[in-house]
Chain A
Amino acid sequence: MTRRSLVVATLSGALLLGVAACGGGSTSTSPSGGSTGEAAAPAAADAFNAGIGKVFNPSDKKGGVIKFAISDDFDSVDPADTYYGFAWDFLRVYGRSLVTYKPAPGQEGNQVVPDLAESLGQASDDNKTWTYKLRTGVKFEDGTPVKSADVKYAVLRSLDKKTFPNGPTYFNDWLDLPKDFVSVYKTPDVKTDSAIETPDDQTIVFHLKKGYAGFDNFAALPGTIPVPQAKDTGVKYREHVVATGPYMFKSAEAGKGYSLVRNPNWDQATDQIRKALPDGYEIEAKANADDLDNRLISGDVQVDLAGTGVQPAALSRVLGDPALKARSDNPTAARTWYWSIIGDVKPLDNLDCRKAIQFAADKVALQTAYNGPFAGGDIATSLMPPSIAGHQDFNLYPAGADNHGDVAKAKEALTACGQPNGFAINAAYRADRPKEKQAGEALQQALARVGIKLTLKGYPAGDYFALYAGKPSFNKENNIGLAANGWGADWNDGFGFLSQIVDSRTIREAGNYNMSVKDPAVDALIDKAMTTADATARNGVWAEVDKKVMEDSYVLPAVWAKALTVRGKGLTNVFVNDAYGLYDYLALGVQ
């Protein structure tokens, strides 16, 4: 139905702004849970959340084809051109980045481990130079060995945003590139050693403008998956991505489907994190979302690639039926659904008025609006979700005993800001997102209790950031005080989650994801975090950032996203990798 197609169309949006993580892998031969025997283990008993924190139905049995389906589609299967979390999870089956995340259940999954490289990066020159040594014997699907030059080329081509607009821009922003370099296509002869050096075929060295301790997270980006220059056809490369992983593309038709088969030139000896159990993968794109759920339940499809959880209809079916519920998991994504409280708009320039909103909001209603505890998520009390390393639990604005909002406190706050009878503002949301619509209506109801009159304004998701809520001038003109927003981590640390959405220095004319947080103190903390080498200390700083943002009350957190996903029939080694909040596609097998 069209509404569904709207959802689909914007789901992509959701992912663009929401989920996003990196490649993964691990040095351990068998993903956790000692129960893994050589003999195919008997199918484990179904149980709710059996795939979370532990491996469900572990097995080493090879063979079979895993059927994926997705109601939308990849933005692109070209490693240089994708920003979808599920894509970053999936493309590890055909591409190998320098390092990646450990295919293990629970927190362990956030651990960066070497993949194409022999070990994690060697930092020098106070984190400005990073060196990686490639494993020997790794080959492309056509048998040619992988050289460091191929990695360098891959990273450089990914910088060409004219050709690959979808991918992240970390390398663009951090690499120390020569001024005259435009792109590998336009200026192929420009020397780029100032950014990346390849002293020999196995060594690659990155030079950054300024030091960054967490560079391994960059090295884990799909951008470092090697691409043979000879085979690069720019935009059209996605029609046949040259594989380094255990699987290669048999067919890749955007908008229709993809099928992958074993890559004869992949050698288990060079790879300690992949077990490559199935003989291949079939992916059906643009499936009917409700139909997809039903097929997932019936067993006709085994994995919902997007992993964003079942549609409401199926949700009630799954939760209503114990047998079905036992087949489902409820993973937490590193994503927060929240509402920006925009200080540029009067009277929200006043802290107390902003606080009033925090207190008046009905957290339970919000949670329900975002589809409840299972499909929506846990009630959020701060911006940074729990799955982010260094997350600290705190609640500056307790919403009353039953979490339906603290009207009394809200009234106080209003009086404090000189608007005892409340005020009127507009709230922006993405018109084609039922959840945000519902959330807006929930807020409308809740704030009305203290006299804050909310007028809802739906805007097309496609232009939401470009033309509407993402455009400060627009918000001022249209008195938009609240704007629905959502954000997911690129990887699970403070930088990966917060850097894009609380740094006031990133705010520009239009296309902002940070719509409200403007606090020099926050900016200062961010800089501090960047340069803190020690991980724990660094995470502590990010926690401070989170706290500060909440103190400023620039953000009304709604839920820390969760999804209700159904484990496909006959799958083995099923577990959720925290790095993505999705099933780890690398480990999956079939009986």
Chain B
Amino acid sequence: MVTYLIRRLIGAVVMLAVVSMVTFSIFFVVPRWAGATPVDMATRYVGRTASAEMAQVAAQRLGFLDPVIVQYGRWVKAIFVGADYDYGAGVEHCSAPCFGYSFLSRLPVWPDMLDRLPVTASLAIGAAVIWLIAGVATGVLSALKRGSFFDRAAMSVALAGVSLPIFFTGLVSLVVFSYGNPFRVTAPGSTYTPFEQNPATWAYNLLLPWITLAFLYAAGYARLTRAGMLETMGEDYIRTARAKGLPERSVVVRHGLRAALTPIITIFGLDFGLLLGGAVLTESTFSLPGIGKYAIDAIIANDLPKVMGVTMLAAFFVVFASLIVDLLYAVVDPRVRLS
């Protein structure tokens, strides 16, 4: 068990290392293939007055003149031991985990990301609650009422749901429920109010994104749950349970659901981890200032420290979600032994 954990943790770290290297090289090596010199690369960060010397200064300030390896080393070092940043009037220590300073706003990336996290988290959690309830419930009912009108209707909707691109549904819902309505004060979905500031507005503003996002996932989960339910309800042990004279309700709940939901948990864990790393499309569609939007903006602005940071954060969530899921699995399914 312990050895297993250690092994997994090491694995996770290695994975993150690989991700970071690849991402890093994409941004620091590929442009060079494109024939950009360090100074060229720096030019984009010197604002309007891009004189040669200015570019030189910037290149030096951003450390582009060193070999890529060195730059990478510096980046890694900062994460673990922090780094010192010269902000003009003095030197500031950016304590670990230090993901460097934005090339453009020159604000430290890490607090910036932590700042965005609540938005993405709120989005993910809210949506997750909706889609788990809606999706699983629909799935179970469809499975039990297999072939019924409800089943066919639900499954058709679900299929439509998984076939709709979120940036389309989101756009439409915005137009219909938000822009379309001239009386509304702020567009739900286009602004974010921190929970601690006012839970009501928080929920109100997130309603549209939640529903849009949840719809997509709920559809998928309904299909999954239904399939899983049908499979387990065909298992021998269900027959056994019935043979015991167990009332149908507890056959479904205690025996059927229990087994059918286990794989759902796994998938949910991974999905959720992925979402925490930034619901890129949703956040973009509703321009919510979350991790995903942060990532897109950073990429467009070529703000490398931000891109690195956000990629790592996202990867981190995925990796650890999968780890947690595996542990969880061992808890729910006694047959699974961690070793």
Per the bound structure, the CA–CA distance linking A163 and B186 in Å amounts to 38
Asked whether, in the complex, the Cβ of B289 is within 8 Å of the Cβ of A17, the reply is no
- The residues of B that contact A471 with a CB separation of less than 8 Å are 40
B88 interface contact, C-beta 8 A: yes
- The residues of A that contact B47 with a CB separation of less than 8 Å are 16, 75, 83, 165-167
Asked whether, in the complex, the Cβ of B87 is within 8 Å of the Cβ of A233, the reply is yes
CB interface residues, A 157-203, toward B, < 8 Å? 157, 160-169, 183, 185
User: What is the chain B residue whose CB lies nearest that of A232?
Assistant: B89
- The residues of A that contact B227 with a CB separation of less than 8 Å are none
Knowing A467-B44, A508-B51 touch, does A162 contact B89 (C-beta < 8 A)?
no
- The residues of B that contact A234 with a CB separation of less than 8 Å are 87-90
Knowing A233-B89, A236-B87 touch, does A460 contact B167 (C-beta < 8 A)?
no
User: What is the chain A residue whose CB lies nearest that of B185?
Assistant: A300
Q: Report how many residues on chain B are interfacial, defined by Cβ distance under 8 Å.
A: 55
Asked whether, in the complex, the Cβ of A165 is within 8 Å of the Cβ of B58, the reply is yes
- The residues of A that contact B36 with a CB separation of less than 8 Å are 463, 466-467
User: What is the chain A residue whose CB lies nearest that of B50?
Assistant: A511
Q: How many interface residues does chain A have, given as a range?
A: 35 or more
- The residues of A that contact B285 with a CB separation of less than 8 Å are 1-2
Asked whether, in the complex, the Cβ of B87 is within 8 Å of the Cβ of A235, the reply is yes
Asked whether, in the complex, the Cβ of A288 is within 8 Å of the Cβ of B191, the reply is yes
With beta carbons under 8 angstroms apart, the residue of B48, B50, B296 that contacts A20 is B48
B120 interface contact, C-beta 8 A: no
B105 interface contact, C-beta 8 A: yes
Per the bound structure, the CA–CA distance linking A20 and B146 in Å amounts to 67
Asked whether, in the complex, the Cβ of B40 is within 8 Å of the Cβ of A1, the reply is no
Asked whether, in the complex, the Cβ of B289 is within 8 Å of the Cβ of A460, the reply is no
Q: State the total of A-B contacts with C-beta under 8 angstroms.
A: 166
Interface of A is mostly: loop
Knowing A1-B285, A463-B44, A466-B43 touch, does A511 contact B186 (C-beta < 8 A)?
no
A548 interface contact, C-beta 8 A: no
Per the bound structure, the CA–CA distance linking A489 and B300 in Å amounts to 26
A255 interface contact, C-beta 8 A: yes
Per the bound structure, the CA–CA distance linking A391 and B170 in Å amounts to 47
A9 interface contact, C-beta 8 A: yes
Per the bound structure, the CA–CA distance linking A507 and B126 in Å amounts to 54
Asked whether, in the complex, the Cβ of A165 is within 8 Å of the Cβ of B45, the reply is yes
B187 interface contact, C-beta 8 A: yes
Asked whether, in the complex, the Cβ of A5 is within 8 Å of the Cβ of B179, the reply is no
Which 9 interchain pairs have the tightest Cβ spacing? A234-B88, A511-B50, A163-B88, A466-B43, A234-B89, A2-B284, A235-B87, A288-B190, A291-B190
What are 21 contact pairs spanning A and B, CB under 8 A? Answer: A1-B167, A1-B170, A8-B297, A9-B300, A16-B47, A16-B48, A17-B48, A160-B88, A165-B47, A168-B49, A169-B54, A288-B286, A290-B179, A291-B186, A313-B179, A461-B300, A465-B43, A465-B44, A466-B55, A470-B50, A511-B50
Q: Which A residues lie at the B interface, using CB under 8 A? A: 1-2, 4-6, 8-10, 16-17, 20, 75, 83, 157, 160-169, 183, 185, 232-237, 254-255, 286-288, 290-291, 294-295, 297-298, 300, 313, 432, 460-463, 465-467, 470-471, 508-513
Identify 11 new A-B residue pairs, CB closer than 8 A, beyond the known A83-B48, A462-B44. A2-B281, A5-B293, A9-B301, A83-B49, A254-B105, A255-B107, A298-B185, A313-B179, A508-B52, A511-B46, A511-B52
